[in-house]
Amino acid sequence: MSQKKDDQEKTEEPTARKLEKAREEGNVSISKEVSSVLLMFTAIAMLLFSGRFMYERIETMFETFFMNAASPIDNEQQALSHLETALRFGFEMIIPLMLILLIMALLVNMIQTRGVFSTKALKPKASKISPMSGFKRIFSMKGFMELVKGFAKLFIVGVVIYYSVRNDVEHFLHFSVMPMGYTLSESGSYLLVFVTRILAALFILSIADAAYQRFQHRKDLRMTKQEVKDEYKQMEGDPHIKSKRRKTALSMMRRKRLDHSVLQSDVVVTNPTHFAVALRYDPERNEAPIVMAKGQRKKALRIRELANHYGIPIVENKPVAQALFASAEEDEFIPADLYRAVAEILAYVYKLKNKQHH
């Protein structure tokens, strides 16, 4: 009852951190149907391309054994020699196929799991060997879906064989009176057509299974609202995440303040490119000009860009810009020894503004 209640409470989609943690543990969405169908396709393609080679090897093996059939096997050494010959022929035919199938299996799984490799999934768990857990898996929704897939595959195979054979029954009956070579050749062609059609149908089923497995995987990773809150609290307590957020927030505050500061300025004094100092002077409120913003290099260029954007006058005065940058702080009055120089700059700016108005 409690388990059912927990499942009903898990209404929230898994967070990025939950999905990443599941990937680290090897808990990813994977469809066995896709893997098996693609491996069967690979095996058939290999048999088609290497069929001639395998036929020649089998022919050579039979010739070798028939030539030595009259020679009696008198001792253990001769028996081992015949066995070694047979194994060599077998390995020469099978090993290349096995290697390619192994590479294909690894490639398909890597594509499905997006390169996830974790040994955590291989660690033994009590739930995996528990008889009760096994019964629950068999009689669960997942077990029911596996049963449905099994019947679906049997149905697909039956339908494909039925429609493939229905129109050629008489042709198949002729095989009983035809020469063995013709029968083998023709039946092999029909068998290849059957298998190709069956695999094509199973491939469509495997695509549907892959979509279902992906849906089921995300459903299994769903979280309760409390779990989402707990994870958020843990992330809030993580010093790395807090530091990153603090830097981002500080950067945004500075960006907004810089825009606002330059917009409220009367003039920007530049070096021309190394330094930039934005000044504001309101005789009715302040007894001296105030440094609204200052910067060097990238920040200086940014202040110039903002000044151009907002139409704030830019005055190039290298010694004054350097002196202001070195001795004045933001949101503070300029030093008294720079009053005269800054007054001349402001007078020049006001003069330009009056000309523009007139």
Considering only residues 86 and 288, tell me which one the structure prediction assigns the higher pLDDT.
288
Query: What are the percentages of helix, strand and coil residues in the chain, rounded to 5?
Result: 75, 5, 20
Q: How many residues are recorded in the chain?
A: 358
Question: Residue 1: its pLDDT value, please?
Answer: 43
pLDDT by residue (tens digit) across 23-59? 777 677 777 888 888 888 888 888 777 777 777 777 7
d(C-alpha 166, C-alpha 342), whole Å = 101
Spell out the domain ranges in the chain: 27-66+80-116, 130-205, 245-357
| pLDDT tens for each residue of 296-331 | 888 889 889 988 888 888 889 888 889 898 888 888
Return the CATH architecture of domain 245-357.
Answer: 3-Layer(aba) Sandwich (3.40)
Check pLDDT > 50 for residue 101. Answer: yes
pLDDT per residue as tens digits for the range 133-178: 555 555 566 777 778 877 888 888 788 777 777 766 666 666 666 6
Question: Do residues 295 and 303 touch, judged by C-beta distance below 8 A?
Answer: yes
Angle (CA) 38-43-47 rounded to 5° is 150
Between CA 143 and CA 255 the distance in angstroms is 57
- Tell whether the model's pLDDT for residue 131 goes beyond 50: yes
- The answer on pLDDT for 263 being more than 80 is yes
User: Mind giving me the DSSP string for 40-108?
Assistant: HHHHHHHHHHHHHHHHHHHHHHHHHHHHTTTS---SHHHHHHHHHHHHHHHHHHHHHHHHHHHHHHHHH
**Rounded Cα–Cα distance for residues 157 and 41 (Å):** 16
pLDDT of 284: 81
**C-beta separation of 61 from 223 below 8 A:** no
Tokens matching residue 285:
């409120």
More confident residue, 236 or 285: 285
